[in-house]
Amino acid sequence: MTQARHRVVVWGTGNVGRHALAGVAARPDLELVGVWVSGGAKAGRDAGELAGLGRELGVRATTDRHAVVALAPDCVVHTAMADHRISEALDDLALLLRGGCNVVSSGPVFLQFPYGVVPPETIAPVRQAAEAGGASLWVNGVDPGFANDALPLALSGICERIDELRCVEVLNYATYDQPMVIFDIMGFGKKPSDVPMLLQPGVLTMAWGSVVRQLADALGVELDDVEEFHEREVTPDTFTIASGTVESGTVAALHFEVRGMRGGRAVIVLEHVTRLRDDLAPRWPQPAGQGCYRVVVSGEPNYTLDLQLLGSDGDHNTAGLKATAMRLVNAVPAVVAAPPGLLSALDLPLVTGRGLVS
Cα–Cα nearest to 166, from 75, 320, 22, 273: 273
Q: What is the pTM of this model?
A: 0.95
Give the model's pLDDT for residue 2.
Answer: 52
Give the model's pLDDT for residue 109.
Answer: 95
Pairwise CA distance, residues 111 & 139, whole Å: 6
Residues in the chain with pLDDT values less than 50? 1
User: 136 and 103 in contact (C-beta within 8 Å)?
Assistant: yes
DSSP alpha helices (H): ranges in 57-163? Answer: 65-70, 86-98, 120-133, 150-156
Give the model's pLDDT for residue 213.
Answer: 98
Give the model's pLDDT for residue 83.
Answer: 77
User: 172 and 289 in contact (C-beta within 8 Å)?
Assistant: no
Give the model's pLDDT for residue 3.
Answer: 62
The structural domains of the chain, ordered by start, are: 6-140+331-347 (3.40.50.720), 146-312 (3.30.360)
Indicate the angle between helix axes 17-26 and 316-329, nearest 10 degrees: 60
Give the model's pLDDT for residue 1.
Answer: 44
Pairwise CA distance, residues 339 & 306, whole Å: 34
Cα–Cα nearest to 109, from 69, 155, 78: 78
